[in-house]
Amino acid sequence: MGLPAPAPAAVELRQLEHFLAVVEEGSFTRAAARSYMVQSSLSASVLALERELGTNLFIRGRGGAELTDAGWTLLEPARAALADADRARDAVAEVTGLLRGSVRVAAVAMPRSCDLAEAIRDFRDQHPGVDVHVIPVGGKRMTDLVADGAVDFAITPRVPRVSPSLRFEPLLRTPLVVIVPTGHVLAGAQGLDPSDLVEESIIDLPREWWSRELFDRWVEEEGVRRRVRLEVDDWLAALTMVQRGMGIAYGPDACIDRDMFSGVATASLASPPQWELGIASRDQNLRGAAGRGFLAAYLQRCRGGVADPAGERGTRAHRDRSRMDRGEKRTA
């Protein structure tokens, strides 16, 4: 008489974490890198989960990994299970006076006054038991990640279409400016119109970035047509290209690190669009003590952020008059 077959192992939280990592990254390779694992180990974890559930969760291909119908069905329960586990750990940690768990934050490039890296360093020195994950993504997608519970909160530009279940706490407001190489004919210019820029080689940001949408609207409102010739999905790369004389760019004035990019100058726009940075979070409490603690530490660090940066000088009166003429139609 043979031994009875072993009972199937229960689904493990780690397997669900790996499943969600693949979903959010779109590929096993990027998910493994994010999880600090070799790809074969992460793939084995997901495969074990599929065997336990008796179905494939992903369609694997050269272009990445896509969810099957079963995978879509598992998505929300997986997120809920991990959130429940975090709450359980937090409840115990609060009783014992320890802060443990993990924090997931979506973030865009930001001014030094609101530097996330410095906040992470200080927070981890005080709470080494907390894992901090920073998810870079275009500004317009960030609120979706918050609403879906994929991140605890987002440091994001204010966008006009925000879920009613979210709240936005502003940190700073800064105008969009044109960024040019030092010595460029437009360096230091005031009140530029779209017609002053259409013949220039513009280094564009992706359409998913709020800065790009603000710039496109500003150009379109003046009835000017332009051609997109170069697009870069990285703020620092765009500034580096400008510094090397490859073209001009645009972006939030307060987000230009003038110490790092001493070879760039700026020019102001006529009636410049306003770019506002803030914290997007769900109406209910963050999912755990770690998230609440990190957000409190970050806000405490950057409360002195730029409210009305120097880059806006020389355009304020022009902008105010234009806003009165337009009846305050522009949304920051």
Helix and strand numbers (H, E) in the chain are 10, 11
> How far apart (Å, rounded) are the C-alpha atoms in residues 169 and 188?
32
> How far apart (Å, rounded) are the C-alpha atoms in residues 18 and 40?
12
- CA 281 from centre of chain: 13
> How far apart (Å, rounded) are the C-alpha atoms in residues 241 and 227?
18
Averages of pLDDT over each 10 residues, the chain, 332 residues: 43 89 89 85 93 92 88 92 77 63 83 84 86 75 79 85 76 94 95 92 90 93 87 91 95 91 95 92 69 86 52 37 34 30
SS3 of residue 303 by DSSP: coil
Q: What is the pLDDT of residue 145?
A: 81
Residue 57: name the closest of 32, 20, 8 by CA: 20
Beta strand 264-268 with 230-231 is: unpaired
Cβ contact 70:54 at 8 Å: no
- CA 269 from centre of chain: 26
Q: What is the pLDDT of residue 54?
A: 92
- Domains annotated for the chain, with CATH where assigned, are 9-98 (1.10.10.10), 174-274+309-326 (3.40.190.10)
CA distances from 241 to 27, 245, 310 (A): 29, 6, 24
Residue 161: name the closest of 145, 141, 178, 179 by CA: 141
Q: What is the pLDDT of residue 93?
A: 64
**Token pair in block for residue 169:** 């706490």
Residue 103: name the closest of 28, 65, 155 by CA: 155
> Residue 5 class from Cβ within 10 Å (0-12 exposed, 13-18 middle, 19+ buried)?
exposed
Q: Quick count: other Cβ atoms within 10 Å of Cβ 135?
A: 17
**Token pair in block for residue 209:** 């970035």
Residue 178: name the closest of 158, 202, 156, 162 by CA: 202
Q: Where are the alpha helices (DSSP H) in 26-136?
A: 28-34, 39-53, 69-96, 116-126
> How far apart (Å, rounded) are the C-alpha atoms in residues 305 and 167?
19
SS3 of residue 156 by DSSP: strand
> How far apart (Å, rounded) are the C-alpha atoms in residues 270 and 276?
18
